[in-house]
Structure 1
Amino acid sequence: MKLYSNEISSASSRVRIALAIKGIAPEILSVSILGPDAENRQRDYLALNPQGLVPALLTENGTLITQSLSIVEYLDERFPQPPLLPADLEARAFTRTVALAIAAEIHALVPPRVAAQLGSLGLDANAIGDWNRHWIREGLGAVESLLNGRRSGRSGRSCQYVAGDTPTVGDLFLFPQAINAERAGLPLALWPNLAEVVNNLRAVPAFAENAPAPRR
């Protein structure tokens, strides 16, 4: 397998964490995603992945899989141990809910291509930073409410991670987004339940070693 990835990409981080949990080491090909000459916008990469996004996974039989959630679920189905989705159906739905709340409601509004478009409309770096912080704060606030509601529904018993006492898909999405929130100047103390989960994940090597790198 080949993974097209970028070290600062939170979406790539999700897949690298999943691979580490599964003990899989594909060939990793770095694709630049910042600046006018970014490789993800060049003809060669667009011929491979017309969306021009990372991550992208090329399987051994030449099938390309894009979108981090699709890649993670493919890996989980192909390499079922240890599982990344809970056996309990409600817990499985909940961890997917958290993953999609981040992928669809936060990340979709703050990637480099959105920042580039905002810049082309005349927003300066400070205004773009405010945009990003607004949507991260609003999105993670909703995730905090989800985590709090699940805890209340479990008679106050705290889960170590998003959906139980082992990391699942929701954790793969939450952790990189939380790291980026801190780098944007939003302390995780704003969201106590979320902060507790993230602090637990920091102690898991697969997460700590595959967090998104800071932008240079």
Structure 2
Amino acid sequence: MANSGEEKLKLYSYWRSSCAHRVRIALALKGLDYEYIPVNLLKGDQFDSDFKKINPMGTVPALVDGDVVINDSFAIIMYLDEKYPEPPLLPRDLHKRAVNYQAMSIVLSGIQPHQNLAVIRYIEEKINVEEKTAWVNNAITKGFTALEKLLVNCAGKHATGDEIYLADLFLAPQIHGAINRFQINMVLFLL
């Protein structure tokens, strides 16, 4: 393991969270050993006072590396990539690097927040289940339509070529969630 001899990383996570999933992918790609600490969002573990000391926002993922605590998936992934540079999560090519950042941003700000558990619960409580479904479908469709246009000229075996990079870490959990959690037909977005 790449982090042998050091204190084991701790990852506070929820199995269904796409944000936490992308961090687990990064940890696996880097070959890093870590302790998985479950935070069950459906049971409200994120509101527990002990967890709020780790992450005052009450969200997952949260990574603890000794005295360092990081509570955002993108920040965690960049931290891991800088601390453990092999394999790199960003290509050397400046254009492909920018495309990776754009794909990450579309998922991070254009899709995932709109289908976040807290948001969809709020919509369901304030309006109704049908509006929640329409809201989620709209956000996912709009985001993946943009991603398809962004990635059409640079895809290889993976999103931006033949290596796994940042864009893939964000896309894979989002595609999985769209299909399995929200029953979106992803065939519409095939490149």
| TM-score, normalising length: structure 1 | 0.81
Map 1:87-126 → 2, pairs under 5 A: 87-124=92-129, 126=130
1:57 pairs with one of 20, 41, 63 = 63
Cross-structure match for 1:39? 45
Q: Distance in 1 between matches of 2:160 and 2:55?
A: 32
Asked if 1:15 is matched to 2:28, the reply is: no
Map 1:177-196 → 2, pairs under 5 A: 177-183=174-180, 184-193=182-191
Matched to 1:7, the amino acid is: W
Structure 2: segments with no counterpart, 5+ residues = 1-8
Q: Distance in 2 between matches of 1:119 and 1:177?
A: 21
Matched to 1:192, the amino acid is: L
1:57-109 alpha-carbon deviations (Å, 9 max, x no partner): 0012x211111011011101000111111011111111111011101110011
Asked if 1:162 is matched to 2:159, the reply is: yes
SS in 1 for 2:36: strand
Cross-structure match for 1:135? 139
Q: How many residues align?
A: 182
**Structure 1 residue 119, shift from structure 2 partner:** 2.4
Matched to 1:101, the amino acid is: I
Structure 1: segments with no counterpart, 5+ residues = 152-157, 194-216
**Structure 1 residue 130, shift from structure 2 partner:** 2.0
Ranges of 4+ aligned residues in structure 1 off by more than 6 Å:
none
Asked if 1:84 is matched to 2:89, the reply is: yes
CA-based RMSD:
1.2
Contact 2:110 2:143 in 1 (8 A): yes
